[in-house]
């Protein structure tokens, strides 16, 4: 059982992809019956899956955050432990948006996530003073552009109360915070040390 758990942890990105492919096949077979938001969500889902693979290369944003900000040695961690929280969050968020398309706030939550990815990767270039983009930047920017286009399409074709955006933002924030708590919990370093490392990095970066 323990070996199976390690296998799931190590291969979480591939398992996440298989779940997406299941949704993609189902969507293709039922395309004529899908709601507009489900079609748009499938597009966002495809973008974020490709994005996760692009981010798996060395020098990704997560490596920069953990190595420079939190000063964590990746070699001491169990393979897959740094991605399992993301895999769970993405799978649950997008599956919920596909299952309950009439709840627009669920769709808005994943749209906000995709726009946030585009923002955070551009912020990382400035934050870490990079001379070139980090792995994941290209798909993040394209995904962000697609998400903005999806908002335009939804606004032109669907009447909905604006409060849906508030629920969507709260859903995104809640899910993102849960993901971060799980991620930080799985890292093999006390929270006090991680906070101290982050404060030291920010002090050196902005204190000059």
Contact present, 32 and 147 (Cβ < 8 Å): no
What is the tens place of the pLDDT at every residue in 29-46? 999 999 999 999 999 999
Separation CA 19–CA 87 (nearest Å): 11
Separation CA 114–CA 140 (nearest Å): 7
Average pLDDT value for residue range 83-94? 89
Average pLDDT value for residue range 78-103? 86
* C-alpha closest to that of 177 among 120, 128, 113, 114: 113
- What is the predicted pLDDT for the residue at 139? 85
Average pLDDT value for residue range 90-118? 95
Residue 67 has pLDDT above 60, yes or no: no
- What is the predicted pLDDT for the residue at 133? 61
Specify the pTM: 0.83
Query: 136 in the Ramachandran plot: left (φ > 0), alpha (ψ -120 to 50) or beta?
Result: left
What is the tens place of the pLDDT at every residue in 121-180? 776 666 655 556 667 778 888 999 999 999 999 999 999 999 999 999 999 999 988 888
- What is the predicted pLDDT for the residue at 166? 96
Provide the domain count of the chain: 1
Mean pLDDT of the chain: 80
Separation CA 207–CA 200 (nearest Å): 10
Domain that holds residue 28: 2-206
What is the tens place of the pLDDT at every residue in 176-189? 888 888 877 776 66
């Amino acid at each position: 059982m323990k070996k199976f758990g390690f296998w799931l942890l190590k291969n979480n990105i591939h398992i996440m992809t298989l779940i997406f492919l299941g949704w993609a096949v189902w969507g293709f077979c039922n395309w004529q019956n899908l709601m507009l938001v489900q079609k748009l969500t499938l597009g966002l889902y495809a973008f974020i899956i490709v994005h996760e693979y692009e981010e798996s290369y060395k020098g990704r944003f997560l490596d920069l955050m953990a190595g420079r900000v939190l000063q964590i040695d990746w070699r001491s961690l169990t393979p897959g432990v740094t991605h399992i929280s993301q895999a769970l969050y993405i799978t649950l968020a997008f599956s919920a948006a596909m299952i309950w398309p009439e709840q627009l706030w669920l769709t808005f939550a994943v749209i906000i996530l995709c726009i946030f990815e585009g923002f955070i990767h551009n912020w990382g270039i400035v934050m870490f003073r990079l001379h070139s983009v980090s792995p994941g930047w290209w798909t993040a920017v394209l995904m962000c552009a697609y998400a903005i286009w999806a908002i335009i399409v939804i606004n032109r074709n669907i009447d909905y109360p604006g409060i849906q955006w508030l629920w969507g933002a709260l859903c995104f924030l809640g899910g993102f915070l849960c993901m971060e708590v799980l991620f930080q919990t799985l890292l093999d370093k006390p929270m006090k040390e991680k906070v101290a490392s982050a404060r030291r990095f920010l002090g050196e970066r902005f204190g000059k």
